[in-house]
Structure 1
Amino acid sequence: MPKKILLSVLFTYLSFTYCIAQQQPLNWVDAHAVSIDSNKNYLPNLAAGLKDNSILGLGEASHGTHEFSVEKNRIIQYLITHKNYKAVGFESAYAVMDRINTYVLTGKGDLKKLMQPLRLFSTKEIYDLFREIKLYNDSQPLKNKVSIFGFDIDYTKADVDSSARYSLNYLGKHPDMYAHGKAAIPVLKRITATDFGNLYEMADDEKAIISDLNNEVKTKGQSTEGYGKFKKYLSLLYQGTLVTNPLARDEFMADNIANTQQESKAKTIIWSHNVHVAKDTTMAMCKGMGYYVRQKYQTQYYTIGLDTYKGATNSIVDDNFQANNFEMQPSSLSALFAKAKFTKFFINVDNAQGNPIYNVSGNITNIFSNWGRMRTLQIRPGIDFDALLFIRETTASTELK
């Protein structure tokens, strides 16, 4: 048989085999997917899977996608009004979100200005969410109001200064409360100096002082006024000393989420990238934030990954928004979903029975804040995520002006 004919036959056979291999998963997706439409008929289906949930992780394949933010807004508002969720956490600095929380609780401040440090979260879509939460809170007694919080490390000089100044003020009011307090005061003062650089660049002995005080504050505990914020701000300073450790950030974020939720006892939604909310190690290839949250909360932690096949998304280039186009590979899980009968759908994947994609590795879209070469990561449905929300074609988010 001539070589060209042999190659043609082989290609035809492989293509046929590939199509057959995809057909069973596609049939299953078509049978179990719930269409997303303006009537929100999928939201009761989503809520039914939450059961005794304490923390719901809402992921996203990129931070700069309009449709992801719009759909997450709908989910959040539904769960607030129908399922008594009272806290929404963001993959953002604590200090920034603390000021936005004051706005949604009291109306104090200019929301657009408060959102300026949020980078890819400084969008019209997330502005609309904060406004809706504020309007909801306006009609509620204090005990029923929804709060906003950031669970990421504080990076900016202004936020680090805020943490250090609060800690200094607290120690000034309680000078003899902690054995390591007096040693920490000059270190905290140096942090607030205008020429101070980064927390992780401090001398080892200075880092050790912050670490010792942080450990003492966590273990000793207090009922004094302002203790909760002092503990939080000091912890953020300690986290900043280790920010160059690539494995530390996700564990810190998980601790920040757990500490906030356990203090408030509120049913909580967390908004973050897919790679952070994923329950296992497949995407991050290490123990990520979602892994640690699952360790603490077990079945009370439920995750939804958001995926797309093609479109445009915003990323940050030289501190500015930049829209870029993308399309996933034909062999990806995203491409399989793109062939489904619904262009936008929600699907539970946490039940192994009869589910041909359960625990089967496949690639989905993954775009980080910076527009890099890697735009795909592997997941195992049902292991990393309990459910998936898929939108075939997406557009870039709208920068807040």
Structure 2
Amino acid sequence: MNLGYYIFALLILIIIDVKAQNSKSYDNSFHEIELTDGANVDQFSFISNYLKDISHVGLGEASHGTQEFYIAKSMLIKYLVNNLNFKIIAFEMDEHVAKDLNNFVIGGVADISTTLKNYGLYNSIELKELLEWVKTYNSKQIQDKSKVNIIGFDNKEFWPRPFERDSLMADNLLQKSPKQKCIIWAHNSHLIKSNTWDVTNSNVKAMGNYLSNNLNEKYYFIAFDTKKGSFNVIEDGDLKEYGFEMNKKSLHEELDNFFVGFKNYSLTNIYDLTHINSNWQGPPQTAPSKLGVDFDALIFVNKTSAAKPIE
């Protein structure tokens, strides 16, 4: 056999080895999750590897009214509080409403059921149970600095100013969380890190873009996605449930529910992230996004259901 044959064979072996390494790296980036047992918090222990030196973690949602997103975020928050010393939970919520919730979790007797029932899509049993867990956690802390605080970074005065709202929310959040590690609960559209996803077609930066520019590598955003199920919207002042099914492929066809991080294996192709509005505007749409650029990780729930309102 001539030298050319050996060189060709060697190249084939190198290509096979590289593909095998990439495949292994790809598989290791996925973590199957289950959402039937809300107490199974330790299944998210892998997240510690992704959040070294992170001060602000964004937990997004394709819809404000989805039960599985609330359950997954609640489990993540419990893990981050218990294991990674996060002390602030910041909601896309009017800051004055958030004060009532904070009074409750730090030991007050506020009626959070009424507060949540009167606050649109945050009328959720899952969210109420999370706040009750935070209250119990805080009751076991001797020092005030060890307690978890609830803050809101939105304000009703921002709402009539849609082209400024995201920058105002970003400034408000950064002023309220200068030192302690912070978890941010908001819609995907607000937490996107780059300026490549402009859902309003207005050339306005998302809040997450401002945070990323200010915090640099200390801001980590986990987007949430789905392809079918049901969700709540606000219609004529009340919650209303709609069903949907979208023609889109999952990043992992063998797993129904999973976390995938883009730290060790970066997927550079465009991904269609589901976008569901707070009020009914027809079937959900998708917004093209760049994996590993617009968000650092993704939690995908194949089939979702509408959040359960407080009775």
TM-score range, shorter-chain basis? 0.7 to 0.9
- Cα distance in 1 for partners of 2:205, 2:62 equals 19
Q: Contact 2:159–2:165 at 8 Å: present in 1 too? A: yes
- Cα distance in 1 for partners of 2:292, 2:63 equals 21
- Local SS of the residue matching 1:85: coil
Q: Which residue of 2 aligns with 1:367?
A: 276
**Higher relative helix content:** 1
Q: Contact 2:50–2:263 at 8 Å: present in 1 too? A: no
Alpha-carbon RMSD across the aligned residues, in angstroms, is 2.0
- CA deviations 1:260-308 (Å, max 9, x no partner) are 011xx11000000011111012333531100001111000000000111
- Local SS of the residue matching 1:307: strand
Aligned with 1:144 (options 128, 139, 146): 146
Report the AA paired with residue 381 of structure 1.
L
TM-score (norm 1): 0.66
Q: Which residue of 2 aligns with 1:188?
A: none
Say if 1:295 and 1:288 are closer, same or farther in 2 by CA, change over 3 A: same
- CA deviations 1:104-139 (Å, max 9, x no partner) are 001321121222332101110100000000000011
Say if 1:143 and 1:32 are closer, same or farther in 2 by CA, change over 3 A: closer
Say if 1:26 and 1:114 are closer, same or farther in 2 by CA, change over 3 A: farther
Report the AA paired with residue 162 of structure 2.
P
Structure 2 unaligned spans of 5+: 1-21
What is the deviation of 1:60?
0.5
Residue 398 in 1 paired to residue 308 in 2?
yes
**Higher relative strand content:** 2
Residue 33 in 1 paired to residue 30 in 2?
yes
Structure 1 unaligned spans of 5+: 1-24, 156-239
Residue 267 in 1 paired to residue 181 in 2?
yes
Residue 116 in 1 paired to residue 26 in 2?
no
- Cα distance in 1 for partners of 2:305, 2:277 equals 15
Percent identity, aligned pairs only, is 35
Compare CA radii of gyration and give the structure with the larger one.
1
Say if 1:296 and 1:99 are closer, same or farther in 2 by CA, change over 3 A: same
- Cα distance in 1 for partners of 2:132, 2:198 equals 33
Q: Contact 2:90–2:183 at 8 Å: present in 1 too? A: yes
Residue 347 in 1 paired to residue 257 in 2?
no
Residue 53 in 1 paired to residue 50 in 2?
no
- Cα distance in 1 for partners of 2:72, 2:295 equals 17
- CA deviations 1:32-67 (Å, max 9, x no partner) are 311113544541211211111111000001011000
What is the deviation of 1:30?
4.9
1:1-400 map, 5 Å: 30=27, 32-37=29-34, 38=37, 39-40=40-41, 42-141=43-142, 142-153=144-155, 155=156, 240=157, 243-262=159-178, 265-285=179-199, 286-329=204-247, 332=248, 335-337=249-251, 340-351=253-264, 355=266, 357-358=267-268, 360-373=269-282, 374-400=284-310
- CA deviations 1:245-268 (Å, max 9, x no partner) are 322000011011100011xx1100
What is the deviation of 1:340?
2.0
TM-score (norm 2): 0.85
Q: Contact 2:56–2:183 at 8 Å: present in 1 too? A: yes
